[in-house]
Chains A and B, each alone.
Chain A
Amino acid sequence: MASVSIRNVRKSYGPVEIIKGVSIDIRDGEFVILVGPSGCGKSTLLRMIAGLEEISGGTIAIDDRVVNDMPPKDRDIAMVFQNYALYPHMTIADNMSFALRLKNTAKSEIAAKVERAAGILGLGPLLDRFPRQLSGGQRQRVAMGRAIVRDPKVFLFDEPLSNLDAKLRVQMRTEIKEMHQRLKTTTVYVTHDQIEAMTMADKIVVMHDGIIEQVGAPLDLYDNPANMFVAGFIGSPAMNFIPGSIGGDGFTTEDGSRLPLGGRVPAASDGRPAVYGVRPEHFRLADEGLAAEVVVVEPTGSETQMVLRPLGSKAGQAGAGREDRKRELTWVLRERTGARPGEVVRIAPDPARAHLFNPDTGLRL
């Protein structure tokens, strides 16, 4: 087990800078998830920790030892790849023990370690098979077994679940979390799926365009996003953003509707343009609220998701374009509803849980 310290790390391919100065501190035993849209540099950063990618600037240290110029084999890390990367010509047992055999570990010790890992992951009956004879979920488990057997300082996961179907993904998510609680090995996990990040991480690092947008515990990011990007990225369905301006003790939308701010008006901000952010589940029915037409109703059983088009806004007219669709609001409610498309409802946001953002910088006010 170990800590990982990433200090002002940069990566460029020629003139293109992919990672623009990133610093993260990962404590011993922590489960850290790097999350962000495709191309944000999260996988590159992980590969730099693994030693598969050169570091253009800054330092990466494992257990206070700078590893910038250390080859992967000396870093004592284990990595699980998106495509499993199992050796096709080796049995499952040989796949799992490959690293130990390279280190000339005693046969009895190898057998014991493989058996233990197979026990943890339920791979016992499969040890003599070849990867091609296994299902996707089993292969993923073998890839994890290969990491466990090593007993490394750090586990690295590169989108390990993205090739699995939805149901298996949820199951493996739980298994990985359980495994971490049991082994308490420092883990860095890359995903583009914010649900994975929310459910598994001790600490989430939200990346975007090669920089870190915010670092924090999952619920902390959810409740207190630092900026519009994090607010929009974390949470599904995404947060509603309503442009307008701050005035008096409330917020005026672009089409003149008033939204409450619950007395949290930032000082000296009268008339200042802002973006009002509210999560889909933080609306409630209210007589004095925004009038909106129901566009789509999507029941999932446990909850109902509704897409609403605020009345009085330009989106109300027929033939709403893409620009207008942006102004549509999503509302998630726990209870079931008889609402039908075309009906008009009045909803009000919970001011205590709403956020205001600067429309230019995206930062939270």
Chain B
Amino acid sequence: MSRPLRKLLDKAGMAVCVLLLVSPALLFFLWMLSLSLKFEIDNGAYPPILIPERFAWKNYTTIFEGNSFLLYFWNSLIVTGAATLFALLVGVPAGYGIARMQAHKSAVVIMIARMTPGLSFLIPLFLLFQWLGLLGTLWPQIIIHLVVTVPIVIWIMIGYFETTPMELEEAAMVDGATRWQIFAKVALPIAKPGIVVAFILSVIFSWNNFVFGIVLASRETRTLPVAVYNMLSFEQVSWGPLAAAALVVTLPVLILTVAAQRQIVAGLTAGAVKGG
């Protein structure tokens, strides 16, 4: 076999493998996109239609018309935003402390909190929130989302702070910095890529959370995943609007990930120590 042909075959083989690997995720998205653009009649057709002759843009407009979608979007934004913000405020210093003091046991305790099924503390927390008179506000959801976001942030930050060269902090110590100044002026800026990663993951997990919302949210305080679920149960199963709503719900997270990925520049610590 000639060399160029062989190379071409290698490339083609590689492409097929990659396609096979990503197809579950990709096809699922494509099918959702297709569903959201088809009329109900096409959605039920057999053999299935991928690209319809007429696009049903109306699926998208109905979401925004009927279901106080914007309110739910706003709720989601507040809950995810607040839960992520609090998680960063608490989790970044906590991760730093655990990494520097090598408090692996407390890291494990936090992990256990994360592993415990959310439902097991939903009921007690529900009663607590009721007693505090917080039901009907967004606070219960913000607080309970911290169960998800705080451990993520702490664990990611532990990893990042542990890779920060200790010599940098010692240099700052000799330069006259206090513990707090070392954290704020040396450790924190260097851990920026880690903070970005923690932020994104925290947003994704919080944004997509469904279980907490379905229990704690009232009609006014629903978040988007719950709203989408409600479309499924109360109207007849109309796949078009449902897929459109699901896509719209996924979109912010998708955009955020794509945008922020560029900022995760691994080379930030380059030059700090030899070989960087």
Interface residues of A (CB under 8 A from B): 50-52, 71-73, 77-79, 81-89, 98-99, 102-103, 130-134, 136, 139, 146, 150, 156, 163
Contacts and interface: CB of A to CB of B under 8 A. Distances in A.
Contacts of B167: 81-83, 85
A163 B274 contact: yes
B273 A87 contact: no
Interface of B: 165, 167-168, 170-178, 181, 185-186, 189-190, 192, 267-274, 276
A236 B103 CA distance: 47
B105 to A, nearest CB: 20
A52 B173 contact: yes
Contact of B174 (A79, A84, A86, A130): A79
B172 to A, nearest CB: 7
Contact of B171 (A81, A103, A130, A134): A81
8 contacts: A52-B170, A72-B174, A81-B171, A84-B273, A89-B190, A102-B176, A132-B271, A150-B175
Contacts of B178: 73
Contacts of A132: 267, 270-272, 276
Nearest to A77: B174
A156 B174 CA distance: 10
B272 A87 contact: yes
A260 B267 CA distance: 64
Nearest to A142: B271
Given A98-B177, A146-B171, 8 more contacts: A50-B170, A52-B170, A79-B174, A88-B272, A98-B175, A132-B270, A139-B271, A146-B175
Nearest to A78: B174
Nearest to B188: A89
A239 B175 CA distance: 42
B272 A136 contact: no
B177 A88 contact: no
A88 B185 CA distance: 11
Contact of A103 (B168, B173, B176): B176
A86 B170 contact: no
Contacts of B269: 88
Q: Which of B177, B267, B274 has the most CB of A within 10 A?
A: B274
Contacts of B268: 88-89
A134 B271 CA distance: 8
Contacts of B177: 73, 98, 102
Given A85-B170, A85-B171, A99-B176, A136 B190 contact: no
A83 B271 contact: no
A245 to B, nearest CB: 50
Contacts of A71: 173
A81 B272 contact: no
A310 to B, nearest CB: 44
A103 B175 CA distance: 10
Contact of A99 (B168, B175, B190, B270): B175
A99 B167 CA distance: 16
Given A99-B176, A146-B175, A88 B181 contact: no
Contacts of B168: 85, 87-88
B96 to A, nearest CB: 16
Contacts of B186: 87
Given A83-B167, A88-B268, A73 B273 contact: no
A81 B173 CA distance: 13
A87 B271 CA distance: 8
A98 B172 contact: yes
Contacts of A139: 271
Given A52-B170, A73-B178, A77-B174, A131 B274 contact: no
A77 B174 CA distance: 7
Contacts of A78: 174-175
Contacts of B189: 89
Contacts of A73: 173-178
Contacts of B173: 51-52, 71-73
A81 B165 CA distance: 12
A102 B175 contact: yes
Contacts of B175: 73, 78, 98-99, 102, 146, 150
A133 B271 contact: yes
Contacts of A87: 168, 171-172, 186, 190, 272
A84 B274 contact: yes
